[in-house]
Amino acid sequence: MPRRDEDTDRFTVARADLVGSLSQRVNDERVLAAMRRVPREEFVPANIVSDAYLNIALPIGDGQTISQPLIVAQMTSSLQTRPGDRILEVGTGSGYQAAVLSLLVHEVITVERIPGLTEEARTRLSRLGYHNVRVEQAVEELGWPEDAPYDGMLVTAGAPELPLALLEQLRVHGRMVVPTGPLGMQDLLLVTKTDTGHETKNLGACAFVPLVGRGAWPTPG
Ligand code: SAH
């Protein structure tokens, strides 16, 4: 059923309110402006569309979630992207984070492990006109080495420890934001690759679904 104009207006108002509340926590007008343009209601399942502008993570099927808007804002801001950047996202999920990123950089390559989600996100992003996002089906190896090195990397699933395979796909002086730690409760790390290794800053506690694959958590079940 096509959405009515009054629904569009209602969502636009709710989106402005949500991003307004995020601006008290995230001091990054570029990122907030991008989030003001991405219709989160298009990225959540139809039966919970009325929750799209609550500042919470929401289920998207297959036991996965679309991240909390505040976390999206914080992660995106920490990456300090530049317009010419090529960014890798690991964990496409709904495609929402990739859409936000795509408004800030030249190209986003995003990789998803669950084929149904990959297909859905690819169709959705293309329908909504995010043509500088490429959605790839994850293989056993973490990330997407084919197009490495990336200027920045966002990992939106929790790794047991810093995934060195992903660090390898980052260019020197590039930044990577990655939740790291035990299942259900991680630290959000900002990792900067240096000539000789890497530097790490802890951005605070977070909770992500597990990063699954070689060098991360084993496949569930
Ligand atoms: N960024 C998403 C939310 C991600 S939820 C959004 O904006 O909606 C985390 C996602 O990471 C899940 O969909 C999960 O299937 C995926 N994932 C887990 N391990 C992965 C891996 N090794 N490679 C790619 N995706 C992975």
Counting as low any pLDDT under 70, the low residues of the chain are: 1-4
Query: What pLDDT does 6 receive?
Result: 78
Q: Name the burial class of residue 97, with classes exposed (0-12), middle (13-18) and buried (19+) by CB atoms within 10 angstroms of its CB.
A: buried
* Residue of 67, 77, 78, 102 marked active site: 67
Ligand 1 centroid distance, CA of 137 (Å): 11
Q: Which atom of ligand 1 is nearest to the CA of 154?
A: 1
What's 139's domain CATH number?
A: 3.40.50.150
- What local confidence, expressed as pLDDT, does residue 170 receive? 98
Task: Give domain status of residue 181, yes or no.
Answer: yes
At residue 5, the pLDDT reads 77
**Ligand 1 atom nearest residue 89's Cα:** 1
Buried b (16+ CB within 10 A) or exposed e, 29-64: eebbebbbebebbbbbeeeebeebbeeebbebeeeb
Look at residue 21 and tell me if it is in a domain: no
Count of the separate structural domains present in the chain: 1
**pLDDT value at residue 87:** 98
In a domain, 112, yes or no: yes
Ligand 1, atom 2, residue with closest C-alpha: 93
pLDDT (0 to 100) of residue 1: 53
What pTM does this model have? 0.96
Interval between CA 9 and ligand 1 midpoint (Å): 30
